[in-house]
Copies of this chain bind each other. A is one copy, B any other.
Amino acid sequence: MRHEAIQNPTPKNPVARVVIIGAGFAGLEVAKALGKAGIAATVVDRRNYHLFQPLLYQVATAALAATDIAEPIRKILRPYPSVQVLFAEVVGIDAAARKIRLSDGKSLGYDYLVLAAGSRTSYFGNDKWGSLALGLKSIEDSRRIRSELLRAFENAERASDPAEQDRLMSVAIIGGGPTGVELAGSIAELSRFTLARDFRRIRPQDARIMLIEGGPRLLPGFSRKLADYARARLQKLGVIVETNQTVDYIGEKEFGFAGKKIPVGLVIWAAGVGPSPLGRMIGSPTDRAGRVVVGPNLQVSGQSEIFALGDIAYLEDEDGKALPGLAQVAKQQGIHLGRGLADLIIEGKPIQPFRYRSRGNTAIVGRHAAIFETGRFSLKGWFAWLAWAVIHVYLLVGFQHRVIVTTQWLWRYLTYERGARVIAFDDLDHRGSRTKIDADPTASL
């Protein structure tokens, strides 16, 4: 009776019930492959959309609308009648009973469980920073950064004290990986090119954009040469880049490293992510961060009916190096596992070992400036920038989104405008109040 609401539909091949947790890059590919094979599968996600996370920073910097990078999961899986979508949150996994528990008290049985719940912002034990340094992993996060960022400039325009204006126009981005670099470049361009024309009292082009990295250089996933190029380009945009600096203090109006306290209007946390806590719920070994250790066939050690992949899984390549938390890793694993699981269920064939084939690594710094690297081949500057844009449009799910994003980008390229400069009250004040103003959103103007 409990399962009444969530039974799988009659599948073409009712041999096994597969439950997939998460409709990110990994989970969706598994679902599509099973759907193609007519196998009954249920995708459980607490969002109703698949999010194209690589472009989240563009929502945070007013270049795209949030809905431009979100595609309804149901729409993506519409062609597969054997696949069902469940909008629900998983709160527990009972591996012994082969059941997952949902937050509404219901539970859902499985024959095979695919754990693809991804990662989330991690403050590495400094959880109190969650209210002071905004992460960027969700639509809500991106809207929040956008609203806080734009409000900081508005508040600076109203402020009478020059020191307070300078503080409000100071943005600290903690973490010099791709997200940090992309945010820093995009915020710098927003202030120097777009906002610069619109204020009368402040000079948005003088905003202090600070990028703070704990390691010796930016972009540790790229070669030294490309990282140096990115740093030089950021500095040319006016970004202050600090490496070898560990932030040890974040307060309401300042943050600190190396004994200094620096006034700041907005702090963004791009220093790291950690796996979903579901990884720890199956009672199998994890790495220190909580990623589930899987074998080459993506099977969880000791639990033959559970698979993990994407950001929640820990898998080493042939050289003993952990695979990175990239969309392309998740996607390739999803395709591999989906096909393998279909063959396992239908024909009893064992799942083959997964091999990651890097399609190259790319990051964007700003206009005409991106980097791309694959093996020994690398590319930077104008052409890499164009390639970055084409690749990202191509990878977007949904033709409509491709058209809209291309249009917005062309427009932005030609005019230096950003179309999504909206401060929405619902986005504000959920965390912290560093740039809070006194406006009461419930009162009418």
List, in ascending order, chain B residues with CB within 8 A of A47's CB.
423, 445
Query: Is A287 an interface position by the 8 A CB rule?
Result: no
Min CB–CB distance A93 → chain B (angstroms): 12
Beta-carbon contact of B48 and A154 below 8 Å: yes
Query: Is A349 an interface position by the 8 A CB rule?
Result: no
Beta-carbon contact of A445 and B90 below 8 Å: yes
List, in ascending order, chain B residues with CB within 8 A of A46's CB.
439, 441, 445
List, in ascending order, chain B residues with CB within 8 A of A408's CB.
400, 404
A143 and B426 contact, Cβ closer than 8 Å, known pairs A6-B158, A87-B154: yes
Whole-angstrom distance between the alpha carbons of A48 and B156 in the complex? 14
Beta-carbon contact of B160 and A103 below 8 Å: no
List, in ascending order, chain B residues with CB within 8 A of A198's CB.
72, 74-75, 78
List, in ascending order, chain B residues with CB within 8 A of A105's CB.
438
From A45, A90, A104, A120, residue with most partner B Cβ within 10 Å: A104
Min CB–CB distance A204 → chain B (angstroms): 10
Query: Is A422 an interface position by the 8 A CB rule?
Result: yes
List, in ascending order, chain B residues with CB within 8 A of A200's CB.
9, 81, 84-85
Number of copies of this chain in the oligomer? 2
Beta-carbon contact of A117 and B444 below 8 Å: yes
Among A391-443, those with CB < 8 Å from B are 398, 400-401, 403-404, 407-408, 411, 415, 417, 419-427, 430, 437-441, 443
A278 and B427 contact, Cβ closer than 8 Å, known pairs A74-B199, A403-B411: no
* Other-chain contact of A140, B74, B75, B424 (Cβ < 8 Å): B424
A411 and B400 contact, Cβ closer than 8 Å, known pairs A47-B423, A154-B48, A445-B117: yes
Chain B, Cβ-Cβ closest to A154: B87
A140 and B426 contact, Cβ closer than 8 Å, known pairs A67-B419, A158-B5, A444-B276: yes
Main secondary structure of the interface of A (DSSP, over half): mixed
Query: Is A282 an interface position by the 8 A CB rule?
Result: no
A419 and B401 contact, Cβ closer than 8 Å, known pairs A6-B158, A87-B157, A424-B139: yes
List, in ascending order, chain B residues with CB within 8 A of A404's CB.
404, 407-408, 419
Chain B, Cβ-Cβ closest to A74: B198
A88 and B444 contact, Cβ closer than 8 Å, known pairs A46-B439, A199-B74: no
List, in ascending order, chain B residues with CB within 8 A of A407's CB.
403-404, 407
Chain B, Cβ-Cβ closest to A164: B5
Min CB–CB distance A48 → chain B (angstroms): 5
List, in ascending order, chain B residues with CB within 8 A of A5's CB.
158-160
List, in ascending order, chain B residues with CB within 8 A of A66's CB.
65, 422, 424
List, in ascending order, chain B residues with CB within 8 A of A70's CB.
422
Query: Is A150 an interface position by the 8 A CB rule?
Result: yes
| A-B contacts, 6 listed (Cβ < 8 Å) | A46-B441, A68-B419, A78-B198, A90-B445, A103-B443, A401-B419
Query: Is A22 an interface position by the 8 A CB rule?
Result: yes
Beta-carbon contact of B49 and A421 below 8 Å: yes
A21 and B445 contact, Cβ closer than 8 Å, known pairs A158-B88, A421-B48, A425-B140: yes
Chain B, Cβ-Cβ closest to A105: B438
Given pairs A90-B445, A117-B445, 20 additional interface contacts (CB within 8 A): A46-B445, A47-B423, A47-B445, A48-B154, A48-B421, A48-B422, A49-B421, A67-B420, A70-B422, A72-B198, A74-B198, A78-B198, A85-B200, A102-B438, A103-B438, A140-B424, A276-B445, A277-B444, A404-B407, A404-B408
Query: Is A91 an interface position by the 8 A CB rule?
Result: yes
Query: Is A263 an interface position by the 8 A CB rule?
Result: no
